[in-house]
Amino acid sequence: MSGRRKLWGSAAVAAGLLYLAPTASMPTAMAAPADGGAEYVALGDSGAATTGVQKFDASAPLMCIRSTANTPKLVAEGLGVRLDDRTCSSAKIKDLSTAQGAGVAPQFDALGPNTKLVTVHIGANDTNMTKYVLNCHTAGARPCADPAWDGDIDGIAQSYSAALRQISVLAPNAKVFVDGWPLYVRDGGCPELVGLRPSDAATVQRAFDRLNTVVAAGAAANGATYIDTRTRAAGHDMCAPEGVRWFDPILATETLIPYHPTVTGMRGIADIVLDAIRPTR
C-alpha cells in the first residue's frame, strides 16, 4: 500500500469517526414537551441519527447530522406513530440528561407520561471506540489490541444502567427497546478497510460484540428489551458491495462517513427493530 493511500485512509477514519461540532450557529433548543411527550421518542448517537451526506435533515440541529431516513424515522413510519427524534451525532450517555451543545437540549427532555415507546442506541462514544478503531487502522506491523479497550467498554455499564432507570422515571408508561451494534467487520477484513490487517479486523469486531454484551446486560437488569441486530447483519458488513452493506467502509462511497450506517443499513436495522416491537403492541 502506498504511503499516500495510508495517509488518506487514516484521515478518512479520523474524519468519519470523530464528529467535531460545527462552528455555525445552532437552532434554538427544543423545550420540554408541554403535551406530555411524543408517543415515540428516539434517543441515541450517530449510529441511530445519521446516514451522512444522504437524506440530510436540514431541520435538525446542525451538529446532530440527523437523517430523514434514519432508523427511528423508519420505525415511526412503520408503526404509524408520532416521533420525537432526539438522536444526535457524537452523543454520549451524559448527553441524555445534559445539553450536548448550543441548540441541543438534553435528550431526556422529550420524555413524558404520554410516551409509550422509547428506543435507545448509545454508548460507543463513551468507550473511546474512535481512538481504538483508529489505532487498528494505523497499527502497521504491530497488533492493535489494547488491554485498556475491554475496560473502557465494561466501564459504561453503571452509567448506562442508570440512564435506563431514569427513562423509566421520566416515561413511566413507555416500553424501552435497546438496539445493539450490527456486524461491522467480517473475518479477514477487506481492501476497503484501508490499513486494517486480517487479525485486527477480528479485534475490532470483538469490541463491538463486547459492547453488545454490556448493553444487553444493562437492558435485562433494568426492564428494557435488548434487540440483537448482529445476527441478521451477516453479509451486510463493510466489506459487502455498495447497496448491500449496512455501513460504509474507509473507502466510503455512500455516506462518506466510515463506520456509519448507509440508507440500506438504516432500513435493515429498522426492520429488525420493528420485528421486535410489533408483537408487544
Catalytic residues, which ones?
46, 260
Q: Which three cell numbers stand for residue 158?
A: 453503571
**Placement of cell 470523530 in the chain:** 18
Which letter, b or e, does each residue of 243-253 get, where b requires 16 or more Cβ atoms within 10 Å of its Cβ?
A: eebbbbbbbbe
For residue 97, count CB atoms less than 10 angstroms from its CB and return exposed for 0-12, middle for 13-18, buried for 19 or more. Answer: middle
Name the residue type at position 22: P
CA distances in angstroms from 84 to 19, 133, 147, listed in the order given? 22, 31, 39
Instruction: Report how far residue 276's alpha carbon sits from residue 205's, in angstroms, rounded to the nearest whole number.
Output: 24
Which cell is 201 given? 479486523
Are residues 26 and 64 in contact, defined by beta-carbon separation less than 8 angstroms? no
Assigned C-alpha cell, 97: 440528561
Nearest CA to 76 out of 30, 117, 108 is that of 117
Q: What are phi and psi of 201, to 5 degrees?
A: -60, -40
